[in-house]
Structure 1
Amino acid sequence: MSTFLLEIVTPERKVFAEQVNMIVAKGVQGELGILPNHIPLVTPLKIASVTVKQQGAKDQLVAVNGGFMEVRKDKVVILAESAELPEQIDVERARAAKERAEQRLKDNKQANVDFKRAETSLQRALNRIDVSGRK
């Protein structure tokens, strides 16, 4: 079965760089399944998990918090704002961030609450909790 190189990169580090058979990512237009020799494209990504499929291995999840995906014939690069493998996620910190964001959203009547920022924080926390729970 043919493969392609998947690189997941953040401003701080390279999170993942391996040959894979397929990935499933959530773009802003919907879910994308990428196989070897896919047509080239660039798309923004949602805050969601990316599923990595490798022959003979269990599907692996990566918590990707926004960014862009560039697909080439033999390589996919995900440039993410942040990304974490399940074993890198601090679940307690994610739960605390979720609670803070939910509280801010509940108190959105206050003029000093940045609703969009709180909503994004909640999505990131839920993504991390989901990926860590499905490892």
Structure 2
Amino acid sequence: MAMTLRVDIVSAEKSLYSGTAEAVIAPGLRGELGIYPRHTPLLTTLKPGTVRIKVPNQAEEVLVYVSGGILEVQPHVVTVLSDTAIRGADLDETKALEAKLAAEAAMKNKAGTLDYAQAQIELVQAVAQLATIKKLRNRA
């Protein structure tokens, strides 16, 4: 039997995943982080992207989009806290494309510095959602 760790992914609204995993891959600010059982304790921030969970005895990874957040790693526990987290299968491609186009339009208008920064954040999040959807399609 492979070694496992406990994984909890929690958003502001609800708990999205709670279970065991052989590995977790998360989108850190400086690149992807691969977490395996008995990993050194770690606390870091995440950028918008896909958290991939390798579940024991399951061929396909569980994909969860996060809008950023905090990753806490203990030797046998991984916790992800995010303002927004959505299971990959629940993402809406049409809404993500609309959000991307709206953010790009807002960036072109440059009404104010604050509006521009918010549009950049929304663009990054929409692109990350679309990347998660693309990963799901590539599995099929």
TM-score, normalised to structure 1, is: 0.92
For 1:29 and 1:87, how far apart are their aligned partners in 2? 26
* 8 Å Cα contact 1:45/1:69 also seen in 2: yes
User: Whose helix proportion is higher, 1 or 2?
Assistant: 2
Following TM superposition, by how much is the alpha carbon of 1:102 offset from its aligned partner in structure 2, in angstroms? 0.7
Q: Does 1:50 align with 2:51?
A: yes
Name the CA shift for 1:132/1:118 in 2 (closer, same or farther; >3 Å).
Answer: same
RMSD: 1.4
Q: Report if the CA contact (8 A) 1:107-1:113 is conserved.
A: no
Q: Structure 2 matches for 1:32-51, cutoff 5 A?
A: 32-51=33-52
The secondary structure found in structure 1 opposite 2:34 is strand
Structure 2, gaps ≥5 residues long: none
Show the counterpart of 2:122.
121
CA deviations over 1:93-123 (Å, ceiling 9, x no partner): 1111111001011222x33761111011011
- Is 1:4 aligned to residue 5 of structure 2? yes
Report the Cα distance in structure 2 between the residues aligned to 1:32 and 1:124, rounded to whole angstroms. 19
Structure 1 residue ranges (4+ consecutive) displaced by more than 6 angstroms after TM superposition: none
Q: How many residues align?
A: 134
For 1:5-39, what per-residue CA distance to the aligned partner results, in whole angstroms no more than 9, with x for missing partners? Answer: 11000111001111000011121232211000101
Equivalence for 1:107: 109
User: What's the % identity of the aligned pairs?
Assistant: 31
Structure 1, gaps ≥5 residues long: none
Shift of 1:134: 2.0
Q: Which amino acid aligns with 1:97?
A: A
User: TM-score, structure 2 length as denominator?
Assistant: 0.89
Task: Quote the residue 1:80 is aligned against.
Answer: 82
Instruction: Find the counterpart in structure 2 of residue 19 from structure 1.
Output: 20
